[in-house]
Amino acid sequence: HVNLHSSPAPASAHVENPALPPPPQAPHCSEGAMQSDGPAGGRPRTIRISRSQTFSASHRLHSDSLSEEENKKLYGKCNHPNGHGHNYKVIVSLRGPIDPVNGMVMNLTELKQHIQKAIMDPLDHKNLDKDVPFFAQHVSTVENVAVFIWESMQKHLPPGLLYKVTVHETDSNTAVYKGE
């Protein structure tokens, strides 16, 4: 016979059995245990978070320090006088402690706003060589695109938070920059 009207035993009820260890106690969220207690117990946990974004841009690989012939030999079809375009994929990675109050390294909505200002506004649907002053002094290789994005993101983020910028120019060509 089952009593359908009785309530189950409270979750804190524990019948002592010397052969079994007591059940683990869940930490209280208000104590911040899940967000801030690191492996050693008091240090904040450090974590990496990332957000990806795509943008389209055109460019021409061409160095003013080289002759026309040297540029053609070095850059091949990417040196075409009319340029060419890519659908770039950028991954911005941050590294920092998890805030014990809000549980985040940074609000991803805020990171999205920084990416808009630092990457999308200056680069999306632009000719990198003609529309972005940085590339008047630097060949618009994927390496230099990664450096530009790093420097631009640094202006919008708290010091020390930016960990890595990854730029996929194509499925096969990628640059990773960590500010080194």
Closest CA to 106 of 150, 162, 68, 65: 162
How far is residue 89's CA from residue 57's CA, in Å, rounded to a whole number? 11
Active site residue 28: no
How far is residue 177's CA from residue 156's CA, in Å, rounded to a whole number? 17
How far is residue 168's CA from residue 88's CA, in Å, rounded to a whole number? 6
Active site residue 143: no
Residue ranges of E strands in the chain: 46-59, 84-97, 126-127, 162-168, 174-177
How far is residue 166's CA from residue 135's CA, in Å, rounded to a whole number? 18
Which of 68, 125, 143, 180 is catalytic? The answer is 125
Which of 78, 138, 143, 156 is catalytic? The answer is 78
How far is residue 37's CA from residue 21's CA, in Å, rounded to a whole number? 24
Active site residue 29: no
Closest CA to 139 of 87, 49, 75: 75
Which of 59, 114, 168, 169 is catalytic? The answer is 169
Q: Which residues are catalytic?
A: 78, 125, 169
